[in-house]
């Protein structure tokens, strides 16, 4: 425990300067209107793609891959500040957000999601890019980087989900450590008659840590998320591929495990990134790092699984530093 806390303190000190560099630009951001939006045909339908900083060609582009399955790009919107030095690509996976929603179970295959990324790369004319995956998006980033190393500048495995058995094991540990009333609420939340969403959210939050306090997101980010349009999160694909909650898997991904693909990555181009109070437990992620000798680990102080919203300035600073370093290699 002491070693982990000491490591987190070191990260806090090391990123303080980087946060200061990013703070003024982020605070003065005029808004999050996209520079370019396109619908890209992929297997099964068309996916929404947002591009910012298209004229920034002196650094490799970065694509952000959201979680879910069934999530949207919305949570990444604060990272558009990176467009001051490189192309920033965000997209909604098929069946969610502003993408088409055929809701055809035949499309709910990991390989198809991976090939959608490759189709987006080709459509945009990008030769190499950085991949930043979050949660379920980390699994897609890992799968893509293992299959297409020639197009991968670096890989960020954020909120690291790459193995359902490992994730559920960690979830069980979190649940068992929670107060009895929280455990009971969680059981009710996964029943056929769950309580109100706010009550379930509060229970899930308590699982992270008694010390975790979510940040209120900025007015600009909230305004974007309210006005972005599309169909938002799709619970149908989430339930079919994952299950009733973050802590229970009953769907297509129930036995998913891509841990073996870590051996296919270039470890010097791999970053594991989690929140201090992430449901991706640091002990498990450190095991992933050990399987990828030379890879790096970043811990976002005070952040939980949604650290892009929880701690956007720290996250932006960490990513900016990482991407610049990997550009130069």
Average pLDDT for 85-100: 98
**190 within domain boundaries:** no
Asked whether the beta carbons of 79 and 316 are under 8 A apart, the reply is yes
Interacting residues of 4 by C-beta distance below 8 A, sequence separation 6+: 282
Cα–Cα distance list, 98 to 45, 46, 107, 326 (Å)? 12, 10, 17, 31
Query: Tens digit of pLDDT for each residue in 24-46?
Result: 334 334 468 999 999 999 999 99
**189 within domain boundaries:** no
Q: What is the pLDDT of residue 197?
A: 87
CATH of residue 140's domain is: 3.40.50.1820
**201 within domain boundaries:** no
Nearest to 153 by CA among 318, 23, 271, 311: 271
Q: Which domain holds residue 75?
A: 2-164+218-327
**187 within domain boundaries:** no
Q: Omega before 69 cis (within 30°)? A: yes
**126 within domain boundaries:** yes
What share of the chain in percent tops pLDDT 70? Answer: 91
d(CA 202, CA 119): 39
Task: Point out which residues pair with 91 in neighbouring strands.
Answer: 49
As for how many domains the chain has, the answer is 1
**24 within domain boundaries:** yes
**272 within domain boundaries:** yes
* Radius of gyration from C-alpha coordinates of the chain: 19
d(CA 145, CA 157): 11
Q: What is the pTM of this model?
A: 0.90
d(CA 323, CA 216): 27
**Which pLDDT band holds residue 19 (cuts at 50, 70, 90)?**
very low
Q: What is the pLDDT of residue 40?
A: 98
d(CA 150, CA 163): 24
**199 within domain boundaries:** no
d(CA 327, CA 315): 18
């Amino acid at each position: 425990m002491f070693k982990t806390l000491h490591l987190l303190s070191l990260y806090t000190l090391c990123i303080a300067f980087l946060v200061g560099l990013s703070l003024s630009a982020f605070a003065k951001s005029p808004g999050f209107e996209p520079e370019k939006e396109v619908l890209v045909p992929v297997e099964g339908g068309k996916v929404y793609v947002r591009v910012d900083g298209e004229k920034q060609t002196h650094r490799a582009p970065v694509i952000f891959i959201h979680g879910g399955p069934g999530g949207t790009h919305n949570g990444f919107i604060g990272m558009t500040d990176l467009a001051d030095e490189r192309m920033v690509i965000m997209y909604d996976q098929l069946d969610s957000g502003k993408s088409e929603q055929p809701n055809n179970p035949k499309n709910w295959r990991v390989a198809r999601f991976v090939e959608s990324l490759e189709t987006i790369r080709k459509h945009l004319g990008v030769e190499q890019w950085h991949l930043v995956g979050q949660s379920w998006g980390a699994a897609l980033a890992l799968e893509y980087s293992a299959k297409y190393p020639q197009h991968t500048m670096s890989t960020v495995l954020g909120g690291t989900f790459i193995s359902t058995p490992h994730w559920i094991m960690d979830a069980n540990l979190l649940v068992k450590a929670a107060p009895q009333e929280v455990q009971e609420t969680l059981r009710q939340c996964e029943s056929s008659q769950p309580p109100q969403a706010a009550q379930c959210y509060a229970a899930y939050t308590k699982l992270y840590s008694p010390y975790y306090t979510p940040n209120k997101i900025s007015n600009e980010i909230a305004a974007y998320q309210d006005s972005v349009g599309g169909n938002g999160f799709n619970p149908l694909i989430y339930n079919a591929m994952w299950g009733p909650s973050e802590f229970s898997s009953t769907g297509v991904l129930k036995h998913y495990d891509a841990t073996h693909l870590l051996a296919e990555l270039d470890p010097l181009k791999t970053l594991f990134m989690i929140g201090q109070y992430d449901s991706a437990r640091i002990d498990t992620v450190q095991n992933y790092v050990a399987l990828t000798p030379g890879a790096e680990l970043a811990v976002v102080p005070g952040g939980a699984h949604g650290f892009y919203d929880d701690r956007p300035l720290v996250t932006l600073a960490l990513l900016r530093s990482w991407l610049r370093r990997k550009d130069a290699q």
